[in-house]
Chains A and B, each alone.
Chain A
Amino acid sequence: MSSKIIELKDVNKWFGEFQVLKDISLTVNQKEKIVICGPSGSGKSTLIRCINRLEEHQEGTIIVDDTEISADTKNIEAIRAEVGMVFQQFNLFPHLSILDNCTLAPIWVKKMPKKQAEELAMQNLKRVQIDDQAFKFPGQLSGGQQQRAAIARALCMEPKIMLFDEPTSALDPEMIKEVLDVMVDLAKGGMTMIVVTHEMGFAKEVADNMIFMDEGRIVEKAKTKEFFDNPKSERTKLFLSQIL
């Protein structure tokens, strides 16, 4: 237990002149669930996007599953295949059926036989409870269903880590719960998860640790109970008082 899977050390990142990440250091253990919150523009999304290098950091080291991620990383695809990501806008492939969305990467990246990939996809679609929608196209599904399909698609790569970038922010209120239920189920199954979200109820239920970010810095990192009951920094207190 508690072996490191992600390690960030003094990570700095700039968008032009603007510094989005300032001296970020963070360690994530296997099976740990971390929820990152903070005001918009605080760098939370950028942080998790650096972990699978959808964004490049300029300073510091990021180590994912014993491989350092940098411009020299030869096989960034192999790392990405181990790190599932769920986006705010779902980003399903609209030209493919839900089933094909799920089997595309296993077949072409992991070279899995088609039949096996389809079985795996149906298994995961069942897990997120949309196996009856497998042959529809993304455009025919509701937002909540699309996001669950996106989670299933990521799961089909059998990732070691799952990153969630505000997965419920683009959803209608009544659909948020169905997505959160799937995520809770996933957390209970022992997945390592980093979740950027404003759903504090979800955070209280599943998170081991909470991170509060503001202006590119990690302002506070604490055990979940401590974070909500007894936040240390004034900025965190202010944020929590507004959001709860």
Chain B
Amino acid sequence: MKTSERHAAFQAWLCAHLGTLVKVARAFAATDADRDDLLQELLVALWDAAPSFQGQSQASTFVYRVAHNRALNWKRARTRLLGRRTLHTEWTLLTAPDEDAATRERLEQLYAALRTLEPLDRTLMLLSLDGLSYAEMSEVSGLTANHVGVRLTRARAQLKRVLGAREEGHG
């Protein structure tokens, strides 16, 4: 992939899938600072992985794979320090949602509940909430569609349990 093609592909992916990266960052990182770090890492990962995109799968599947692979491996101070030093941009535009207070609280609770799931279940749940089919989730995760279904059913039940417990706690 030539530099100009990489640039163009990255820009196109950014326009179409930046929201996905933000959601992944929120689901895997609890604090604002960590969220910023992870979002930067996801963007760096997408940039680094761009030359390996062969067009054999859909761009959206590729972006999901890159984002989830990097998020699952996220805990590397080296890249985070590097990211902090070299990337300066308006992260707050993305990481400070402007939903109304009630929606924001519901979303925060949902993200907090997502973070209690096992990493692989979290990945599947995020893909499910984004509306991917079992076949697409299978393509991203490498699990069979049946396995995805079983894990997802249990993850969804656990998520509802956690959210229910939180609501009871508030009530």
| A and B: interacting chains | no
